[in-house]
């Protein structure tokens, strides 16, 4: 990854990002997080239809260096997960803001997004 920080996203203190599309939010991890983790070898994805609260642990990322928890930056319900990460966890390293997305959430409280950091 080039280190470019997309300005259209919002960022959680634990380095997860949110991309808004109406009431839906796509979640992923930042380039900084993937770089700190090193080569990702496994991703434990959250389950579809799980209700989330802000800061709730939703999964884990295992790399050659460490295991790190994933946290939800927003509250809502998971409606989709990126199943491609099961066979291709390296997408988190190669394209954290694109093919490396983790889940899509229908927002319960859109105001949660306003509390997140901008680029």
Domain boundaries, the chain: 10-111
Q: What is the pLDDT of residues 46-91, one digit of tens each?
A: 999 999 999 999 999 999 999 999 999 999 999 999 999 999 999 9
- Residues 6+ positions from 108 with CB-CB distance below 8 Å: 51, 52, 74, 75, 76, 77
pLDDT at 2 over 60: no
Is 10-111 CATH 2.40.50.100?
Answer: yes
Say if CB 38 and CB 63 are below 8 A apart: yes
Strands annotated E in 3-82:
10-11, 16-21, 24-29, 40-44, 51-52, 57-63, 67-71, 76-81
How many angstroms separate the CA atoms of 14 and 27, rounded?
12
pLDDT at 1 over 60: no
Q: Output the average pLDDT for the chain.
A: 93
pLDDT at residue 8 in the model: 83
- Distances in whole angstroms, Cα of residue 41 to Cα of each of 17, 33, 74: 20, 14, 26
């Amino acid at each position: 990854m080039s280190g470019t920080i997309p300005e259209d996203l919002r960022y959680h203190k634990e380095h997860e990002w949110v991309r808004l599309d109406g009431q839906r939010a796509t979640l992923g991890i930042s380039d900084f997080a993937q770089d700190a983790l090193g080569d990702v070898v496994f991703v434990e994805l959250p389950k579809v239809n799980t209700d989330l609260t802000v800061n709730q642990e939703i999964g884990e990322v295992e790399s050659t260096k460490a295991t790190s928890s994933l946290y939800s930056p927003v509250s809502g319900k998971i409606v989709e997960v990126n199943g491609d990460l099961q066979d291709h966890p390296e997408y988190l390293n190669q394209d954290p803001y694109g093919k490396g997305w983790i889940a899509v959430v229908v927002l319960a409280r859109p105001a949660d997004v306003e509390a997140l950091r901008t680029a």
